[in-house]
Structure 1
Amino acid sequence: MWREIVEEFTSAEPRDPAEPGAVDRIEEALGQSLPEDLRSFLLETDGLGGAYGTDVVWPAERILNDNLHFRNDTQFQQLYMPFDSLIFFGDNGGGDQFAFVRKPERDDVFVWDHETDGRNFVSAGLGSYLRSALGSGGEDWYR
């Protein structure tokens, strides 16, 4: 299903599927379930590159490592609101990060603005997010 969406865009760079154990480790380490769409996406393609070297969807290992970093970095804890309600999964290449809200669980995609600590709605689901990110002409398509 996800590869069909990805194949609509020549700039998209899918990868081999993630190992199921890698996806399970994310949920175990973060203590939260992944949205079902993100889980199924990773099991079809372990991340997705887009135009200009952006990581539209990170590989499972990066999802795990970056989320642990955001949640545990003491400097981030002093600068920003807590990140434990979010699961980051991609970025725009310029510092802003895309995330699903997990407390309360939502399938909507939000963007975290690294300059203002703002968290704003981007799209109603992963499919809509992929089409918007891959079909855009630049890194700030969501503004």
Structure 2
Amino acid sequence: MLAVSWRDIILAVLPEATLSGGASGQAIAAAEGRLGLPLPHDLVELLRETDGIRAADGTPVVWAADQLVRDGDLLVVGGCGGERFAYELADPAAGILLKDRVVGTDLADYVVRALGPDTERSW
């Protein structure tokens, strides 16, 4: 569990961020039922605080609970166009992936990189 809140992390990196209310327990349970799997703990904690995150340019960094997608062995949690950021279902602790590369060692690392200046993005 984080020592600080997800809102604190997001606002520290992107102070002008507008955050939505958190997803309800019912919405998270509905997503898990629809996807047929439990969501990773860090994702659940984030969704409870803010149901999705968008970068300053509007790019969806983390989708809302009702937008999460299971794609084969991946749980896609964000992105747009050709970029899809995902957990590998076999090993969610391996980090957040873009195609076959790790772009965040965990969800917090990915969120900080995605919201930070372009120089922090390694993808």
TM exceeding 0.5: yes
1:47-86 to structure 2, matched below 5 A, reads 47-63=52-68, 67=69, 83-86=71-74
**Aligned partner letter, 2:50:** T
Partner of 2:110: 129
Partner deviation per Cα, 1:71-116 (whole Å, 9 max, x = no partner):
xxxxxxxxxxxx321111110x44211001112343510013xxxx
Give the CA RMSD over aligned residues.
Answer: 2.0
In 1, the alpha carbon distance for the partners of 2:30 and 2:84 equals: 21
In 1, the alpha carbon distance for the partners of 2:116 and 2:16 equals: 9
**Aligned partner letter, 1:100:** Y
Give identity over the alignment, percent: 32
Q: Which runs of 5+ in 1 are unaligned?
A: 69-82, 113-118
* Match for residue 89 of structure 1 among 77, 83, 101: 77
Partner of 1:25: 30
Correspondence 1:2 to 2:10: no
How far is 1:37 from its partner?
0.3
Query: Which has the greater radius of gyration?
Result: 1
How far is 1:10 from its partner?
2.6
In 2, the alpha carbon distance for the partners of 1:107 and 1:24 equals: 24
How far is 1:142 from its partner?
3.0
In 1, the alpha carbon distance for the partners of 2:81 and 2:20 equals: 22
Residue correspondences, number:
118
CA contact under 8 A between 1:109 and 1:124: conserved in structure 2?
yes
How far is 1:11 from its partner?
4.5
**Aligned partner letter, 2:97:** F
**Aligned partner letter, 1:124:** T
Question: Residues 48 and 35 from structure 1, CA distance in 2 versus in 1: closer, same or farther, beyond 3 angstroms?
Answer: same
Correspondence 1:98 to 2:90: no
Correspondence 1:12 to 2:17: yes
Q: Secondary structure at the match of 1:14?
A: coil
Correspondence 1:111 to 2:98: yes
